[in-house]
Structure 1
Amino acid sequence: MTIYRDVLSAVVRCLAAECIDNTAKQAWQTLYQAGDLTAAGGRVLSAREMLDMDCLVHARLHSQLPPRLWDALVAKYSTHKGRKVDAIGYLVLLVESPAPQLFRYKAVTAWAIPPLKGKEGKRSTDMLVLPASFYDMSTWDPEARPERTRRRWRADICKSLEAMVNEALVEAQEILQAEGVLVEQAA
């Protein structure tokens, strides 16, 4: 049964599924569905069926992707605070760079938790938000190396992390196509 239009939407939905609560809702909330979630044949999936499918995709990707690729996806796309922080910590250990440990930690964290627009503390979201001072690269290197060096280190770390995410999406696409949950793309 094809459900997801592409691999990225499948990954984002399955990572968000673990943050969805199953508490009782008001009557109007149980009737509302964000868009038509249709399977092959035009059948509309219920919210429960879609959540079940998201959980199945989550389990399949988590079990079949290598841990470094799974953690790259979690760090980049997850909304679960604890899992995102754990994935960041794992990626810091994997990233190869001549930069000191503190710099690698802050570069990976800033990549995974980019600054959000809006005034500090005025967001209506429950996402991880770092203080603006965290993104100041001059605080990342206690030896105060030249800015050009710090920028090169950060660019190389980000390039490495994006390469992991791209590799993870390619492998995830193969897994999800084998499961038959992605819409077939016309060649």
Structure 2
Amino acid sequence: MIYASVLGAVVSALAAETIDNTSKQAWQKLYRPGYQDGLSLAVLMRSGDEESISRTDADCWVFARLHSQLITRHWDVLVAKYSTHKGRKVSAIGRLIPLIASPAPRLFVSKAVTAWAIPPLRGAEGKRSTDMIVLSKAFYDMSSWDLDGRPEPTRRRWRQKVNEVLDEMAAEALVAAGEILQREGVLIGVAA
């Protein structure tokens, strides 16, 4: 399985974890400990067993590789931004909050990180998949994020800075993921 972009590989790998079928662990059969150090997915695919490697197998393999090789904050920001797995997404958000330096109160930072990771979705509430985290429209009201009632421009500046830090972390994480995926030989080109 070759991916056209880093982002496509990351999103596909993070989505694979929510697919509930027992074949998603089949990629583990392909890894032969001690047989050849540094065995990559590309090498496994060329090993003559290509038909047994499905898209889900490849996605699960990429998920495991990124999870084991990315630094924690890079993994967490990718999971918070792109995962659809509720539990992992919430846990990753919780681990990102203490990493954000801001003059804003912790409640504000917590809600800003959560809103960044779970942006409001278009459409009528209750009309979406139950597999997604959907926050109420009221959650995104920044006046409820600051109990001291600071001015709107201050809250907007705080939120913008939090978003900038998270966007920068996500960009760094995608670069790091791209390096891993290129090393493994599963990317076409270098687009992220």
2:164 corresponding residue in structure 1: 159
Residues 53-92 of structure 1: pairs in structure 2 closer than 5 A = 53-92=58-97
The letter for the 2-side match of 1:63 is S
Q: CA deviation at 1:185?
A: 4.8
2:30 corresponding residue in structure 1: none
Q: CA deviation at 1:176?
A: 0.2
Moved over 3 A (4+): 45-48
Q: CA deviation at 1:93?
A: 0.8
The letter for the 1-side match of 2:96 is L
Q: CA deviation at 1:49?
A: 1.6
Q: What's the CA shift string for 1:96-155, capped at 9, x where partnerless?
A: 111101000000000000001111112245210000000000000000011111000000
Tell me if the contact between 2:14 and 2:83 (Cα under 8 Å) persists in the aligned partners: yes
1:172 counterpart (158, 171, 177): 177
The letter for the 2-side match of 1:171 is A
Unaligned runs of 5+ in 2: 24-41
The letter for the 2-side match of 1:107 is A
Say yes or no: does 1:104 pair with 2:109.
Answer: yes
Farther-moved stretch of structure 1 (108-117 vs 176-185): 176-185
Provide the secondary structure at the position in 2 that maps to 1:127: coil
1:183 corresponding residue in structure 2: 188
Give the TM-score taking structure 2 as reference length.
0.82
2:143 corresponding residue in structure 1: 138
How many residues align? The count is 168
Distance 1:124 1:183, change over 3 A: same
Identity of aligned residues (%): 64
Distance 1:110 1:185, change over 3 A: closer
Q: CA deviation at 1:6?
A: 0.6
The letter for the 1-side match of 2:9 is A
Tell me if the contact between 2:9 and 2:59 (Cα under 8 Å) persists in the aligned partners: yes
Q: CA deviation at 1:23?
A: 6.8
Distance 1:141 1:47, change over 3 A: farther
1:117 counterpart (104, 117, 122): 122
Distance 1:121 1:55, change over 3 A: same
2:100 corresponding residue in structure 1: 95
Cα root mean square deviation, aligned: 2.2
Give the TM-score taking structure 1 as reference length.
0.84
Q: What's the CA shift string for 1:7-55, capped at 9, x where partnerless?
A: 000000000111001179xxxxxxxxxxxxxx999xxx76962111111
The letter for the 2-side match of 1:127 is M
